[in-house]
Every structure is written in structure tokens, then in C-alpha cells.
Amino acid sequence: MAEKQVPLIPGTEHLRALRGIAPGLPVLVVQVLDREHHREFIYAAMGLGIAALGLVLVLGGFVYLVMQGHSTDAKILLGAGVLGLIAGFIRARLRSQA
């Protein structure tokens, strides 16, 4: 399955056609696209940060439970936490390819 390449900004022909409609329209289109890409970047960075925080919390809980002598519970916590993170990354990857 080939990925569709989406340009960051419209082509020059498209921008010239927009300038024919209204002189300031190409600038507005580029500004809107810039804000959209910036929001997508912030959203992705926050998602990765939250996933990293979740992983640290799961590992901390695992270490705490092992130190307290609850090895079975620690294994369950680590397995469920890591599998949940892996499933989340796979789901996000499949959603981005759709």
C-alpha cells in the first residue's frame, strides 16, 4: 500500500489561481496550513510525552511491587502496562496510514 504524499503547502499553480480570486488569499492559505501543521506537531509531541510518563509510572509501580514482595502483581502490572502502550502505538500508526 503506497502512502499518499501530501505537500506542506499548495503548488505554485494553485497559489497563482488563488491570487486571481483575491490578492491576499494565498498568504492566508499558507498561514492556515502552517497553524494546522503546528497543532498536529504539538498534539503528537504531547502524546509521546504522556506515553513516556505512563511508561515511567508503570515501571515505577513494577519496581515498588517487586520491592514489597508482590512479584505476581508486578508482572501483571508490567505486562498490562507495556502491552497497553504497544497497542496504543500500533493503533495510532494504523490510523495515520488510513
Grid cell digits, residue 82: 507495556
CA gap 26, 74 in Å, rounded: 57
Q: Is the pLDDT of residue 4 over 80?
A: no
CA gap 54, 85 in Å, rounded: 8
Please indicate, yes or no, whether the overall pTM of this predicted structure exceeds 0.85.
no
The CA-atom distances, in angstroms, between 71 and each of 13, 67, 78 are: 64, 8, 10
Query: Other CB atoms closer than 10 Å to residue 59's CB: what's the count?
Result: 14
**CA nearest neighbour of 93 among 57, 56, 48, 58:** 48
SS3 call for 9: coil
CA gap 15, 87 in Å, rounded: 41
Determine the pLDDT at residue 7.
66
Domain residue spans of the chain: 37-97
Determine the pLDDT at residue 3.
52
Residue range 78-89: mean pLDDT, rounded: 83
Cα radius of gyration (the chain) = 22
Q: Is the pLDDT of residue 1 over 50?
A: no
Q: With beta carbons less than 8 A apart as the criterion, state whether 15 and 29 touch.
A: yes
